[in-house]
Amino acid sequence: MLKQVPEVIVGAQWRLRRSTVADAQAVFDVAHDPEVMRYMDWPAHRSVADARAYLEGVAGRWVAGSEYHWVIEPRSGGPLVGCIATRVQGHAADFGYFVARAAWGQGVATAAGRLLVDWLERQPSVLRIWATTDADNLASARVLEKLGLQKEGVLRLATWRPNLGGRPRDTAIYARCKSTT
């Protein structure tokens, strides 16, 4: 568990703001798009109630210290364009994100990831920052590499992607570690 997790992390163009249940409609608007949710390891939202339940869950996990979840929105204000979250367990923090299709190709995932990774890097207890992506999700792999994570390998048939159906899929794992010397 981290101390003093910021509810807002501000960058040059984007900001991360702690999500609330009031974000349910906006999160649904992003998380029901089959293309946005294609490689996620949880099903696309089918209703605003799904988004509300999701946000209620992340609110509880924030309080418990097991997951910290923010919406991604323009620094100057405006509708959210995605979400990003991290889970810290001991010395390691993993993270994941999704971004609205209308914002693809604008550097949003990289900018939001940079805000989160930079904050995690400043946490003395976090020595390892890692993320996974479907082995075929080349756009996400590029984002992780831009954030300074290195590909450690591929976990064969490791993750079921419900929005793709079929059997479990190969998952690439990326990480960056602080020097311990």
For the chain, domain boundaries: 8-129
pTM for the model stands at 0.95
Nearest C-alpha neighbor of 31 from the set 16, 47, 18: 47
* pLDDT (tens digit per residue) in 95-105: 999 999 999 99
* pLDDT (tens digit per residue) in 3-46: 789 999 999 999 999 999 999 999 999 999 999 999 999 999 99
CATH 3.30.56.10 fits 8-129, yes or no: no
The DSSP element (H or E) to which 114 belongs, if any, is helix 108-121
* pLDDT (tens digit per residue) in 41-87: 999 999 999 999 999 999 999 999 999 999 999 999 899 999 999 99
Q: What is the pLDDT of residue 1?
A: 60
